[in-house]
Amino acid sequence: MKLKVKKYKDQLQEWPQKGHHIMAQYDDDKIVVYQSYKRGIGEFAVKNQYFGGGFSLERMTWIKPNFLWMMYRNGWGTKEGQEYVLAIHLKLNAFKRYLENAVVSTYNDNLGISREEWQNQVKESSVRLQWDPDHDPFGNKLERRAIQIGLRNEFTHSFAKEDIILIENISDFVKEQYQFVLNDDLDQLVTPEEKPLLFEDEILNEKLNLK
């Protein structure tokens, strides 16, 4: 497994407790995002190192850079059709391109535009940006907000193939770590090593409400 992991409790001391943060494993070239699928789609992706087969290029696909947010959504790989958990190593410049083209999924007054303008942007945009409460290993809501990004049209096509560096099956790792959660033994739990992502582009940071 290429994914770097670290004791959850050690990381907890370093992570911000509140605010909007892109918690992720990344370096200068790549970022890891997570998705869950049924076995057929997952096996095709790992074998071929791109998304095809039963993967739909016509539907919006959602990516999450935060491991525990993914575990909350897929029930640690126990939900039907989400048993096959993938760690997708993406080109960082592709991930940044998604965010530069993203429109937030919920309207608020801080956007500085009218609701009608926002609705038009949502219709025209092929990238959706959503902030939700982050979650701890047990699924409890946190004050910190986590990001997920929805892709469609040309962005789904580029994500599915050109933007990928590596696709890993981490389903066994997820099952192993879930046992520690079930046993209420967080001292043993390890999760992917993550830290807040900030861009050199201050305009983008401001757009995303990153601090």
Grade residue 102 by pLDDT with cuts at 50, 70 and 90: confident
% the chain with pLDDT above 90: 83
Tell me the whole-structure pTM to 2 decimals.
Answer: 0.92
Average pLDDT of every residue of the chain: 92
Average pLDDT over residues 123-146: 92
Q: What is the pLDDT of residues 40-89, one digit of tens each?
A: 999 999 999 999 999 999 999 999 999 999 999 999 999 999 999 999 99
- According to the model, what pLDDT value does residue 98 have? 97
Neighbours of 174 (CB within 10 A): 23
- According to the model, what pLDDT value does residue 206 have? 86
Q: Count of residues for the chain?
A: 211
Cα 8 to Cα 69: distance, rounded to the nearest angstrom: 14
